[in-house]
Amino acid sequence: MKNIYKNVACILALGLTLASCDNYLDDVPKGSKVPTTLADYEAFLRDEYTNQVVNVDGAIYLMNDQFLTAATLSNNRLFNANYMWDENANRIDLKQSDETAYYRSYAGISTFNLIIENALTTTRATEQEQRVLWAQAKVLRAMNYFNLVNFYADTYVASTAGTKLSVPLITSANINAPSKQVTIQELYDFILNDLKDAIPYLPKVSQTALHPTLGAGYAFYSRVYLQMNNYTEALKYADLALAENNKLYDWIGYYNTNKAIIDVPNSYTTTVSPMGYTYVENYTYRHGSIYYLAAEFDIPVERAQRFETGDARFLSRWKIRTVGAETSYRRTLTGMFNFGGITTVEIYLIKAECLARAGQISDALAVLNTVRKTRILPASYQDISTSDKTTALNAIFKTKNNELINTLIPFADARRLNAEGVYKVSFTKTANGNTYTLKSDSHLWTMPFPQGATQNPGNGTITQNVAK
């Protein structure tokens, strides 16, 4: 128990640090508490601003899903390299400081490791209660590793996953635990094994939105298998997830309720985000990159133009605004946003893609249109109808990118599609009279590790996965 306390003191109380905690404390200080009960460990999972944050800023900048001002781009060369698709920039050199995406993810993994190691021996709990918390920590650990591997390593390709490196795998909460930078295949196997362990013990209803349910486990399984191009298994688990929760939020109703505020010209009065803890689409809730602002990102004009005409979700969230020489779409929601968890709309669209891949085009479009009917205003709505597989898939991809904007998923999907080579994703834009392009085979699709990680990797080694 002494080692547990030392880890909690060093990692959870003080945050990530490179200093050794070996001799930090030999005894519990007066007035302090050693975690022993299930409630003690469950409290770590509820520490949402440390352990439930998914920061993927670099991916959002690369996708141009956030508007960055000229001043910001001038002051931050790394932001500029991603946002302006600068193939010549050495992003490794520019990552001189620690990075939230990396360190907060591993802070969460340390916490989840701590719970996994101790939940089954806690006091004041039944064995079933212990197993539930243990399983929920396994799901959250797997989710963090999925985010890391799809940010800092190449996307999954079966023929190369066994040789290409992913990210450091750490399975102990001990401050001196060894780490190994495993292959992409090894990490995906680890993620799938965590899910296999967890599924039998996940509850159908959990105590808070932060605690994964059985539906969340199935939904995450579906996400992982889709990223591995295993459409059969992705569809299987999508159906299982939707059997647990298939609710879609009525964005048309939200728009109509708030229309008197939303439609006022040149007014940026905010309305309350429905995408918080009680969002009916939630399987599990996790914060995105800007959890502390209780707001979301402004988006570029070019990005706004990729939404469907009459999209009530878009109309309820952004409004065009010009400040000086810069025009963007200003955010108009305030509150909380489930940008790091999993929602039903993602699973509907995974199901639609899997059906289309299998040649079941009409079934796929029925699923897609089920989503669109809750989003597109009746005056603009028409069913998407086609017998062409490519047309159907492109419609699914478009809707999914719009639905999951400001999350990791559009970035992860683009990498998956580019590796497949059939439905490649690339972007072109014009700024200040110049044309910029993000090519489908650009090295920019893989983010470099921060220098703090490679220069001081702890009890292991880290090799960069990208040249610059």
Question: From CA 238, how far away is CA 429, in angstroms rounded?
Answer: 35
Question: From CA 295, how far away is CA 272, in angstroms rounded?
Answer: 10
**C-alpha distances in Å from residue 352, one per residue of 161, 198, 365, 422, 465:** 26, 26, 7, 18, 32
Sign, CA dihedral 75-79-81-83, equals: negative
Nearest to 82 by CA among 105, 103, 106, 65: 65
**Around 48, how many Cα atoms within 13 Å sit in the side-chain half-sphere?**
19
Q: Which residue type is seen at 4?
A: I
Q: Beta-strand (E) ranges in 298-390?
A: 299-300, 318-323, 326-331, 333-334, 342-343
Q: pLDDT by residue for the chain (468 residues), tens digit each?
A: 333 333 443 433 333 333 333 433 345 556 667 899 999 999 999 999 989 999 999 999 999 999 999 999 999 999 999 999 999 999 999 987 678 899 999 999 999 999 999 999 999 999 999 999 999 999 999 999 999 999 999 999 999 999 999 999 999 999 888 999 999 999 999 999 999 999 999 999 999 999 999 999 999 999 999 999 999 999 999 999 999 999 999 999 999 999 999 999 999 999 999 999 999 999 999 999 876 668 889 999 999 999 999 999 999 999 999 999 999 999 999 999 999 999 999 999 999 999 999 999 999 999 999 999 999 999 999 999 999 999 999 999 999 999 999 999 999 999 999 999 999 999 999 998 999 999 999 999 999 999 999 998 989 999 999 999
**Around 114, how many Cα atoms within 13 Å sit in the side-chain half-sphere?**
32
β pairing state of 434-438 and 427-431: antiparallel
β pairing state of 326-331 and 299-300: antiparallel
Q: Which residue type is seen at 447?
A: M
Domains and CATH numbers, the chain: 2-59+86-210+447-455 (1.25.40.390)
Give the predicted TM-score (pTM) of the model. Answer: 0.93
Residues 6 or more apart whose Cβ sits within 8 Å of residue 337: 273, 275, 276, 287, 288, 296, 406
Nearest to 381 by CA among 370, 394, 392: 370
The residue whose two tokens read 């486990």 is 217
3-state secondary structure (DSSP) of residue 318: strand
Residues 6 or more apart whose Cβ sits within 8 Å of residue 466: 91, 92, 443, 446, 447, 448
Neighbours of 157 (CB within 10 A): 16
